[in-house]
Structure 1
Amino acid sequence: MKKILLFACIITTLFSCQKEKADLIIINSNTYSVNDNFDKVEAFAVKDGKFIAVGTSKEIQEKYQSKNTIDAKNQTIVPGLIDAHCHFFGLGLSEQKVNLRGTKSYDEVLEKLVAFQKEKNTSFITGRGWDQNDWEVKEFPTKEKLDKLFPTIPVAIGRIDGHALLVNQAAIDFSEITKDTKVSGGEIMMKGGEMTGVLIDEAMDFIKFPSISKKEAIQGLLDAQKISFSYGLTTVDDAGLPRFAIELIDSLQKANDLKMRIYAMVSADNQEQIDYYISKGITKTDRLNVRSFKVYGDGALGSRGAALRKSYSDRENHFGALIYTPKRYQEIAKQIAASEFQMNTHAIGDSANTWMLKTYKEALKGEKNRRWRIEHAQIVSNDDFKNFDNILPSVQPTHATSDMYWAKDRIGKDRMKGAYAYKKLLNTYGKIALGTDFPVEQVNPFLTFYAATIRKDLNNYPENGFQIENVLTREETLKGMTLWAAYANFEEDEKGSIEVGKFADFVILNQNIMEVNGSEIPKTKVISTFLNGEKVY
């Protein structure tokens, strides 16, 4: 009997030795691989930061062994989520300033400013997040109350979309601007011949803000990373970064202090920066990809800065405006087309979309795989949808459910047919990249998933969904937040799905977003986030 037991132990030991070693094994999971067949798998193994095998629990356990084996107990796992359009650095900086998101009145904004200043005692008050469309009085605020509360301390607070700024007289005086300051591509709002304190788009550039300290910038990036990992994000597309921020990100990643993967869109707001990066060429590491430029086509619909082909329905003879001249967009597109870089342009209004699509087509000359992107593609004329055949739409579904209460007032019934038309855009290009535009919207990607698939707000409004003909399926939505978003970044061969050879980025969820009742989707929580097989949340 002892000999039999000894023989069995030897066989077991020999069999165990034949198994390949892995750094991490996941078994008994409900994993959506998001591969070409959208297969579900039970288990996978990870080594050196990449997936080395996927299959059944039995298959993986028979071939691999690891000191770190996790029994998922049928919990749902999806690839690491990718936010295809956000402002990661901006989120971090906003964490260092007064947060005005969710305020329900101008008076509440003022209360928050007073409380912030009492705590921080800063020499220049900045913040972001107010939205007059959420107030009972849905009009832009004016600076009179700000002037009384802060007669000597400059105050400059941004609207939630980043396309309007409310400033007090102290900030105006500090910045040396007047009602006669000439503005192109924006507006200094006036009332009774005097400045109201609201600046739109390019007019905001006249305000002189205090410089961002390196310490503040670093803390901001680390804060943004912590928040993003908690929501299952493993890659973020930062839509518009200055050179100093990109170089700081690179240094923090090299020091292993910043682990988040970042697709950096270089801000194309000055020629010097465009020239520098085109001359430098694409920068690509496992964590940083610098190969695109972010261009602004127009402003936002909420501040009536979006460029429309016909007048706003709620403001006669007002059309919004392009940020630059048409000729300037042609110059930028021609220069980028001659390089290997991608061009990604913010286009909200139908006029901006028309012009940018035309400009892209002329610059690309029929090229099919440049993956140039229209960011937002919010209001598209019916005859322009066909032009997305080789132009990739990058949209943010929560914009639809945030704007649905007032968008019709801005543009009227007819133009609404081509607004937030995500299914129509998907059907034209074949793929769609999904993001949040945080901190304009919340970071939470499950609100993106909910808005795309259910098209309602958190109070179940509207009952039948907002323009439900443009709803995306859950499979399309998950692809838009993983594989298609990776494709939009030229990274589909290294991330976006749980397949052998790709980075081991994945997320364990507390419920199955592919099957739960639609109303339950926003309640989804991240149990764990893994990047390179390392647990980062």
Structure 2
Amino acid sequence: MKLKNFPLKYISLLLVFLTACSNPKNEFATLIIYGGTIYTVDSTSIQVEAVAIKNNLIIFTGKLSEAERFKNDNTELIDLKGKTMTPGFIEGHGHFMGLGYNELNLDLMNTTSYQDIVDAVAERVKTAQPGEWIIGRGWHQSKWDSMPSGLVNSFQTHHLLSEVSPDNPVYLRHASGHAGFANAKAMEIAGLQVLAKEGIKNFKVEGGEVIIDEFGRPTGIFNERAQTLIAKHIPKKTLETDQQAFNLAVKACQRNGITSFHDAGIPKETIALYEKMKSEGKMNTRIYAMLTGWDKDLLEDWYSKGPMIDPDNLLTIRSVKLNCDGALGSRGAWLLEPYTDRPDHFGHETLPMEFVEETAIKGLNHGFQVCAHAIGDRANREILDRYEMAFKKFPDATTNHRFRIEHAQHLHPDDIPRFAELQVIPAMQAVHMSSDRPWAIDRLGEKRIKEGAYMWQNLLESGVPIVNGTDVPVEPINPIASFYASVSRKKLKGTPEGGYEPEQKMTRTQALRSYTLDAAYGAFEEQIKGSISVGKLADFTIFNQDIMTIEESQILDTEVVMTIFDGNIVYSKAD
């Protein structure tokens, strides 16, 4: 039977039927991506040939021949040309404004000696006005190639720094953020130089420490909460500089393939800034923000109004960040046994454990996730204990609580299975192992390192996911470095052969999940992101090579060549 013998109205109906069969929902894609290796992190189809997007949502994943039915004259096409695409990477623990300000201020992350710091400050002094504060961050004495003379508690003293900056107060935060280094001018403004004339051997700070020399004079090192003695005198940031830092942070995320960011502890001023930037259409990274636990009034205000879950999926606030101990580098991590290289010292409890329990209870009852910073084994144990107390008091509120411990860097072996038992998520930054492991053994000794430090595989095998990240600006935001550390357990220079404690390596599949689907789970967002699946947001990271199959030694050569956020190309290396 020939089509020309059919009445025109029947031909039209037939064409509509055929079109509907080829594209059941009558949907057309605004973008189709194909031509490379596409890892979905979706268990139903691990790899696909093509992905179709309509505006900012994924509408198809599968064979390229089947994706063709979603194409029309207005569909944009991206040929990967053999490159590799994954779900958009998620920074699982970082400090967004710290990332931006690190680009505005003095970046000391690549310094390899005390003299490097002195030289960097001396150079900045040349362009600074007299009395202008010089602020920086990123130094780490345990990573230096050589140590200066006259150390006190393994830290440098301020004298060389003060010589090159006599008229400018200087404050340089440790890479970890858990210590700071001040020059004489900054200490004079803080009133500490006056005290130093008589010696301050008995000077105490709750939850912190002023490092002093044998005469009781401050050396310039302020540990943990003692940093406030200097920080409260630093001029407040302005809205203009905040906006600059914000925009720099967005660009840094896009360059590094980061489409979502778990912001670990923000005050009310930063919340207001984020809301402003969103209203102006500048929120081009999805932020999952944790309220800072230092501000009790802020917490009470949010408890009363409840979580803010953004329907636009750009800015969500439903968690609280508690800072419960310090870092290993500054010997502020709270330990069950004393430091191997400082036998009279156990670190610092920087937040009362009673407040941790109180926050856990209020979090359960008001719908807020609690994310507690803990690096030392005692801090981890104490927090798990407080979480457990809260869960037992309010068992009906514990369904799907997803409480987290941020870092979980050093654990007592008895506490490793408790994460799964209590359904507590460890948010662990694998790159810390690469940076810290070479000297962490000096702090903890071999036994504690081997039995309880960076225990990724043991935790995964116990049944909990791991949220990965960098803790930027403690480490550069580059996710490739953390991915490499996850699967190699090596320093970024490629040593030692076989890696540190190789039995704790992640597989590449586990490492990819830790930066995508498991990171999304850690923010209650696995239904909208973290895998390339129909119905999820169109956030993708595109690499120049296949991180899942290349030789381990080639991983660090990987580059982000394109970042797609909300269905739009926001970064292209070719540009």
Q: TM-score, normalised by structure 2?
A: 0.89
Q: Does 1:154 align with 2:154?
A: no
Matched residues in 2 for 1:459 and 1:433: separation?
24
Q: Residue in 2 aligned with 1:354?
A: 381
Matched residues in 1 for 2:94 and 2:128: separation?
27
Task: Please identify runs of 4+ aligned residues in structure 1 that moved more than 4 A.
Answer: 13-19
Q: Residue in 2 aligned with 1:274?
A: 299
The alpha carbon displacement at 1:64 in A equals: 3.3
Q: Residue in 2 aligned with 1:133?
A: 142
Q: Does 1:55 align with 2:62?
A: yes
Q: Residue in 1 aligned with 2:272?
A: 247
**8 Å contact kept, 2:486–2:505:** yes
The alpha carbon displacement at 1:442 in A equals: 1.3
Matched residues in 2 for 1:364 and 1:442: separation?
36
**8 Å contact kept, 1:237–1:263:** yes
**8 Å contact kept, 2:467–2:518:** yes
Q: Does 1:100 align with 2:108?
A: yes
Matched residues in 2 for 1:439 and 1:488: separation?
21
Q: State the percentage of identical aligned residues.
A: 37
The alpha carbon displacement at 1:67 in A equals: 2.9
Q: How does 1:138-287 map to 2 (within 5 A)?
A: 139-177=154-192, 178=195, 179=200, 181-192=203-214, 193-207=216-230, 208-285=233-310, 286-287=313-314
- Matched to 1:301, the amino acid is L
Q: TM-score, normalised by structure 1?
A: 0.95
Q: Residue in 1 aligned with 2:96?
A: 88
For 1:109, what is the secondary structure of its paired residue?
Answer: helix
Question: Which moves more between the two structures, 290-299 or 323-332?
Answer: 323-332
Q: Does 1:412 align with 2:445?
A: yes
1:474-510 Cα deviation digits (max 9, x unpaired): 0011001000000000000000011111100012211
**8 Å contact kept, 2:416–2:459:** yes
Unaligned 5+ residue runs, structure 2?
A: 5-11, 149-153
**8 Å contact kept, 2:125–2:165:** no
- Matched to 2:519, the amino acid is A
Matched residues in 1 for 2:162 and 2:124: separation?
16
Matched residues in 1 for 2:463 and 2:475: separation?
25
- Matched to 2:558, the amino acid is T
- Matched to 1:407, the amino acid is A
Matched residues in 1 for 2:478 and 2:462: separation?
28
Matched residues in 2 for 1:458 and 1:38: separation?
32
From 46, 52, 55, the counterpart of 1:45: 52
Matched residues in 1 for 2:309 and 2:275: separation?
10
From 391, 397, 400, the counterpart of 1:369: 400
**8 Å contact kept, 2:121–2:164:** no
**8 Å contact kept, 1:299–1:320:** yes
Q: Residue in 2 aligned with 1:344?
A: 371
Q: Does 1:117 align with 2:139?
A: no
For 2:378, what is the secondary structure of its paired residue?
Answer: helix
Matched residues in 1 for 2:347 and 2:478: separation?
30
| Aligned positions, number | 530
1:239-270 Cα deviation digits (max 9, x unpaired): 11111112211211121122110010111112
The alpha carbon displacement at 1:38 in A equals: 5.4
**8 Å contact kept, 2:419–2:464:** no
Q: Residue in 2 aligned with 1:392?
A: 425
For 2:287, what is the secondary structure of its paired residue?
Answer: strand
Question: Which moves more between the two structures, 360-369 or 79-88?
Answer: 360-369
Matched residues in 2 for 1:123 and 1:71: separation?
51
Q: Does 1:28 align with 2:50?
A: no
Residues 269/27 of structure 1: CA separation in 2 closer, same or farther (3 Å cut) = same
Matched residues in 2 for 1:25 and 1:317: separation?
62
- Superposition RMSD in Å: 2.1
The alpha carbon displacement at 1:368 in A equals: 4.8
- Matched to 1:329, the amino acid is V
Residues 166/38 of structure 1: CA separation in 2 closer, same or farther (3 Å cut) = farther
1:20-59 Cα deviation digits (max 9, x unpaired): 3211111233111111345100011111210011110000
Q: Residue in 2 aligned with 1:7?
A: none
Q: Does 1:312 align with 2:339?
A: yes
Unaligned 5+ residue runs, structure 1?
A: 5-9
For 2:237, what is the secondary structure of its paired residue?
Answer: coil
For 2:60, what is the secondary structure of its paired residue?
Answer: strand
